Structure 1
Amino acid sequence: MMVGTSDTAPRIGSGRIAVLATPKMINLIEEAALAAVEHLLPDGKQSLGTHVDISHLAATPVGMTVKAEAELIEVNGRKLLFAVRAHDEMDLIGEGRHERVIVTAASFQARIDEKGKSLRT
């Protein structure tokens, strides 16, 4: 992705300097992990992000391109653990671990719908 002003820390409220915001970098990393496994999951299954442990190592200015990669390094039952990295055109800007869990989409959605009903009672 090319960093735009809408991706900067001041725009999303995470800082005052107009560089790529950490939450935006984490979102890009989660997208990479999802893309790495989504096509491998059986019909009706999805993966959900449950944990991130990411270091933001270098600032990226507006106009620079950022790419993220995710390598599946461990499967433990329904849990998937990824080694993740993000780079801009010059530097490694982030790295760490990201965990996702595999769920049955229909039953997960049913639980969320039930939880949402509590807002209407």
Structure 2
Amino acid sequence: MKVGLIGDHSFIVTKDMLASAAGSGTVAVFATPVMIAQMEGTAMRSVMPHLAEGQATVGTYLDVHHTAATPEGMKVSIHTELTGISDNGRFLTFKVEARDECGVIGSGTHERAVITIDRFMEKVNAKKTQ
């Protein structure tokens, strides 16, 4: 895995992606939490082929601005770029951007942690016994 790794994903905004349907608002426009989920998913998929078997990534940080509204039926494109890898290789930093057919609608920074799935889930499930 190297800095500069790119992720791209495009889709059409559907009714279930609207703020009024997602529960994040009352207006029929592309929902911020859906935009963020698409950014996270695009970043995640961009690095998956570079992980060892039994590894995954989890989101740990987001600093994103949603700057323009997008109506149902319009195409949105997500672009991510891996801009940093921690010295121990466990933390990944991405530049993220969303565009609709008229221009940029959101941008920011996203960080993910590389985890070993079994060990991670053991720690998570241990919370049930506390």
- The TM-score range, normalised by the shorter chain, is over 0.9
Q: Tell me whether 1:101 sits opposite 2:98 in the alignment.
A: no
Alignment of 1:1-121 (within 5 A): 1-76=11-86, 77=88, 78-118=90-130
Q: Which has the higher helix share?
A: 1
Residues 65-101 of structure 1 show CA distances to partners (whole Å, capped at 9, x for unaligned) of: 1111110000012110000001111211110000000
SS in 1 for 2:75: coil
In the alignment, the residues of structure 1 paired with residue 45 and residue 100 of structure 2 have an alpha-carbon distance, to the nearest angstrom, of 19
The TM-score, its normalising length taken from structure 2, stands at 0.86
Q: Which has the higher strand share?
A: 2
Cα offset, 1:116, TM superposition: 3.0
Cα offset, 1:117, TM superposition: 4.0
The TM-score, its normalising length taken from structure 1, stands at 0.93
Instruction: Report the more deviating stretch, 21-30 or 4-13.
Output: 4-13
Q: Which runs of 4+ in 1 moved over 2 A?
A: none
The letter for the 1-side match of 2:55 is K
In the alignment, the residues of structure 2 paired with residue 34 and residue 90 of structure 1 have an alpha-carbon distance, to the nearest angstrom, of 26
In the alignment, the residues of structure 2 paired with residue 9 and residue 117 of structure 1 have an alpha-carbon distance, to the nearest angstrom, of 37
Aligned length: 118
The letter for the 2-side match of 1:44 is G
